[in-house]
A and B are shown apart, each in its own frame.
Chain A
Amino acid sequence: MRGVSKAYGNIKALDDVWVHIEDKEYVCIVGPSGCGKSTLIKCVAGIIQPTEGEILVDGHSVLNVPIEDRKIGYVFQDIALFPHLSVKQNLSYGLAVRNASANTVTTVTNEMLDLVKMRDRSKSYPRELSGGAQQKVAVGRAIESGSHLFLLDEPLGALDALVRAELRYELRRLASDLGLTVIHVTHDQEEALSIADRVVIMKGGRVVEVGKPAEIYHSPQSLFTENFVGETNLLEGTIMEIAVTSCKVKVGTHMMSVLGKGKKVGQKVVVAVRPEFITLGSAVPSEWECRIKEVSFLGGLTRYTLEDDGGLEILAHVPSGESSSLRIGERTNASFGDGEHMLLFDYPIEGLGKELALE
């Protein structure tokens, strides 16, 4: 996608989007509702025409190619299985409309039924299947039409959270086994991180950042990404001193040493620390003395909301085995480690609220 823009009147649904996707790559596009992710893949599929820009598949422009000739498999958010056709008929639709021979149709359809494990339900109708089963058939149907490029529009959106977590790995495995190139759109950042080769973060019609999951999570370029992907602590502060590779930042009543370059003294910044890198305990050496406001048991982790004497709130995720003795109202020390996991961002021009806005 090169410089793709899509405007509806005065509203820019897509604004100068540039994305490059390699063969056999599994790319997830993530962002809040309205960020343009669905609009983008609809442009790639030909369902929507961009107002500006170029889209190339295998080096050829597809802008004037009608949907049916683009050879792209598409899985819809609302599944869109044909209600008047059985599972078997749905699966074979792609081949049937190209007048494939009956033999080919039978062979490939049976393969597909096995692939999505729906052999015994080939004669059922979509309304008789559960959401997860329907989505599997939809995926199978797209695969059977013979494409190599797949566009998945929130494919797991209609499913229970419980089913989603399992199905996403199955989806990924399928893509690897068949050597497919996939663009998978979702609003669930955990989903994206867990299966993507690369993640594209979008906001307000623009691409904010692109990178591998671990990079996006641990060393994002933008504050929006840091906040959007997983939970984080964002502490506003001011630069007091600069050194070669690090700075001293005044946050509330504390001084923190954070890795960072290119800052000026007196500059307003935001220090970001992920909750899992904060250690708690009275024995922990730190000048951050806090009171525990809330405790929430999450299973493997326990979530603590703490407040320091200056009113600053921080969030900590502690493995449930340790520090299980901490209760609401108790005081404890919070340590941010040696600064290895702390990130420094310039204070956003439009203000923190606007930068992080999700709606």
Chain B
Amino acid sequence: MPTVSFMNVSKSFDGVSALDRVTFDVDDGEYLCVLGPTGSGKTTLLRLIAGLLKPSTGTISFDDEPVNEMISQNRNAAYVPQQYALFPHLTVLENVAFGPLARGRPESEALSMAMKSLELVRLAGRPTAFPKELSGGMQQRVALARGLASGARLLLLDEPLGALDARLRLDLRHKLRQIVKETGLTAIHVTHDRDEAMSVADRIMILRRGRIQDYGNPKRVYDRPAGIFVANLIGGAAFLEGVVEATGGDSSTVRLREGVIVKTPSHLLTTNEPVIIGVRKERTRLADYNAENIIEGDVRETRFLGNSREYVVRLDNGDTMYSRQFQEGKNERFRIGDKVTVGFDRSDVLIFAYPPQGLGRELEIV
């Protein structure tokens, strides 16, 4: 029995559609990440689940019971907005105890529930502090504890790490998931940071302009993305325009600009159909002559990314490809101007039908 399910849910504001026929399930205890650019409808989704908005059409159910008409107070879904929304005039303990007290628990019980939650998030040491005295990371934990203490079964986290520094986010994202998993709650975590989503999600849902683009576990979405937008969002790739040259099992090929032939996995497209092929940056090797596909070019740009280096290679036929190399160390293997070959296997090639609105539009992160 799924904890939350959306059936064809749409939501419009004054005629502008924010969500369009969204259908999905979240299982009990699952950690779902909703990934999408600003304006894709992620916050609207969360607010619909929280009961702060009503769907224009469609049904939202909790445990198979429709809840469209149920008020927020009864939904047992704790909503943690991006700025945490801690009550500034209450202490940490009073904030966390707010939920149980609101639900009618006697004060002593509410306070002990609150302390338990604070211990879970490892912030039991400052119960009498006021929110403004705490750092961003600590405030986030108080907001989390408040949600946990309220007896909610469902945690709705709206960009929980958005207000924090990049380095802090890196540390806290795993701790966040850990705490949630320890309590066994179901969590829906909205974010625009793809690294964050990939590293903590059991399943990822990608939203764009109010519609679900893809939905599944991180590995599947990475290996077999449902479209160019998703492929670009999850992991970045080089996208090249081409035309199907030959189809049929092992001999599927695509012809790129200037006659460059690429061996591809089998697909269902027809000969001479215009396509876009995508090759993940991490799946290409430079100067590897054992790859199934080898294309020549020269290095145009090198980008140091810390644990890896990204080479921007201008292929001889005019296309651009990227190659991300890990474990290189301090010195780059190739310099700008060097001639190299870009190698990749046929199984690493993603094929998509040519998008009706053009490649540029598909790649726009909006």
Direct contact between the two chains A and B in their complex (CB within 8 A): yes
Q: Which residues of A contact B (CB under 8 A)?
A: 32-33, 130-131, 160-163, 165-166, 169, 187-191, 193-195, 213-215, 217-219, 228-231, 274-277, 294, 296-301, 303, 317, 319-320, 340-341, 358-359
Given contacts A187-B166, A299-B198, 17 further A-B contacts (CB under 8 A): A32-B165, A32-B168, A33-B165, A130-B366, A161-B195, A162-B194, A165-B236, A191-B166, A217-B330, A230-B306, A231-B307, A296-B174, A296-B200, A299-B280, A300-B235, A301-B326, A358-B167
A217–B307 Cα gap in the complex (Å)?
Answer: 8
Interface size of B by CB at 8 A reads 47
Residues of B within 8 Å of A294, CB to CB, are 174
Contact at B304–A193, with CB atoms within 8 Å? yes
What is the distance, in angstroms, from B294's C-beta to the closest C-beta of chain A?
18
Contact at A161–B193, with CB atoms within 8 Å? yes
B151 an interface residue at 8 Å Cβ cutoff?
Answer: no
Within B237-292, the residues touching A (CB, 8 Å) are 280-283
Within B155-181, the residues touching A (CB, 8 Å) are 165-168, 170-171, 174
A254–B188 Cα gap in the complex (Å)?
Answer: 41
B357 an interface residue at 8 Å Cβ cutoff?
Answer: no
Contact at A298–B307, with CB atoms within 8 Å? no
Contact at B331–A299, with CB atoms within 8 Å? no
Other-chain residue from B38, B236, B304, B324 in contact with A213 (beta carbon distance below 8 A): B304
What is the distance, in angstroms, from A320's C-beta to the closest C-beta of chain B?
7
- Give 1 or 0 for each of B190-209: 1 = CB within 8 Å of chain A CB: 00111110111000000000
Residues of B within 8 Å of A163, CB to CB, are 37, 365
Residues of A within 8 Å of B38, CB to CB, are 130-131, 160
Contact at B137–A230, with CB atoms within 8 Å? no
A160–B218 Cα gap in the complex (Å)?
Answer: 20
A276–B324 Cα gap in the complex (Å)?
Answer: 14
Residues of B within 8 Å of A169, CB to CB, are 303
A188–B168 Cα gap in the complex (Å)?
Answer: 10
Contact at A162–B365, with CB atoms within 8 Å? yes
What is the distance, in angstroms, from B282's C-beta to the closest C-beta of chain A?
3
Contact at A214–B167, with CB atoms within 8 Å? no
Residue ID in chain B nearest A229 by CB atoms: B306
Known interface pairs A299-B198, A300-B281; A214-B330 also in contact (CB < 8 Å): yes
Q: Which residues of B contact A (CB under 8 A)?
A: 37-38, 135-138, 165-168, 170-171, 174, 192-196, 198-200, 218-219, 222, 233-236, 280-283, 303-308, 324, 326-327, 329-332, 365-366
Other-chain residue from A187, A188, A230, A320 in contact with B307 (beta carbon distance below 8 A): A230
Contact at B192–A161, with CB atoms within 8 Å? yes
Residues of B within 8 Å of A230, CB to CB, are 306-307
What is the distance, in angstroms, from B227's C-beta to the closest C-beta of chain A?
15
Contact at A299–B135, with CB atoms within 8 Å? no
A125–B331 Cα gap in the complex (Å)?
Answer: 46
Residues of A within 8 Å of B192, CB to CB, are 160-162
What is the distance, in angstroms, from A84's C-beta to the closest C-beta of chain B?
24
A274–B308 Cα gap in the complex (Å)?
Answer: 12
Contact at A162–B330, with CB atoms within 8 Å? no
Other-chain residue from B135, B308, B330, B365 in contact with A166 (beta carbon distance below 8 A): B365
A160–B283 Cα gap in the complex (Å)?
Answer: 26
Contact at B330–A219, with CB atoms within 8 Å? yes
Contact at B135–A359, with CB atoms within 8 Å? yes
| Top 5 A-B pairs, shortest CB-CB distance | A300-B282, A188-B166, A161-B193, A359-B135, A230-B306
Which of A189, A193, A358 has the most chain B CB within a 10 Å cutoff? A358
Contact at A320–B282, with CB atoms within 8 Å? yes
Known interface pairs A215-B330, A359-B168; A194-B200 also in contact (CB < 8 Å): no
Can you report 27 A-B residue pairs in the complex whose CB atoms are below 8 A from each other? A32-B167, A33-B136, A161-B195, A162-B233, A162-B365, A163-B365, A169-B303, A187-B167, A189-B167, A191-B166, A214-B331, A215-B330, A217-B307, A218-B330, A219-B330, A230-B306, A231-B170, A231-B307, A277-B327, A297-B219, A299-B235, A300-B308, A301-B307, A303-B199, A317-B307, A320-B282, A340-B329
Residues of A within 8 Å of B171, CB to CB, are 358
Contact at A187–B165, with CB atoms within 8 Å? yes
Contact at B168–A358, with CB atoms within 8 Å? yes
Residue ID in chain B nearest A300 by CB atoms: B282
Residues of B within 8 Å of A298, CB to CB, are 195, 198-199
